[in-house]
Amino acid sequence: QKEVEQNSGPLSVPEGAIASLNCTYSDRGSQSFFWYRQYSGKSPELIMFIYSNGDKEDGRFTAQLNKASQYVSLLIRDSQPSDSATYLCAAYLVNQAGTALIFGKGTTLSVSS
Amino acid sequence: NAGVTQTPKFQVLKTGQSMTLQCAQDMNHNSMYWYRQDPGMGLRLIYYSASEGTTDKGEVPNGYNVSRLNKREFSLRLESAAPSQTSVYFCASSSLTGGDSPLHFGNGTRLTVT
Tens digits of residue pLDDT in A35-88: 999 999 999 999 999 988 999 999 999 999 999 999 999 999 999 999 999 999
Q: Is the dihedral of CA A111, B38, B64, B56 positive or negative?
A: positive
Q: In terms of CA atoms, which chain A residue is nearest residue B42?
A: A105
Check CB contact under 8 Å for A43 and B105: yes
Of B35, B42, B98, the CB nearest to A104: B42
Chain A residue numbers with beta carbons less than 8 Å from the beta carbon of B100 are: 32, 49, 51
Q: Which residues of B touch A31 (CB under 8 A)?
A: 98-99
Q: How many CB atoms lie within 10 A of CB A76?
A: 23
Alpha carbon distance B64, B60 (integer Å): 9
Nearest CA in chain B to A95: B58
Please, where are the H alpha helices in chain B? none
CB–CB contact A88 B42 (8 Å): yes
Give me the amino acid identity at B33.
Answer: Y
Is pLDDT at B68 greater than 80 in this prediction?
yes
Q: How many CB pairs under 8 A join A and B?
A: 67
Non-local CB neighbours of A41 within 8 Å, separated by 6+ positions:
none
Backbone Cα Rg of chain B: 13
- The yes-or-no verdict on residue A98 having pLDDT over 80 is no
Average pLDDT over residues B55-66: 94
Q: Do B97 and A100 touch (CB under 8 A)?
A: yes
- Asked if the model's pLDDT at residue B96 lies above 90, the reply is no
At A110 the pLDDT is 97
Q: Which amino acid is at B75?
A: S
Q: Binning pLDDT at 50, 70 and 90, where does residue A97 land? A: low
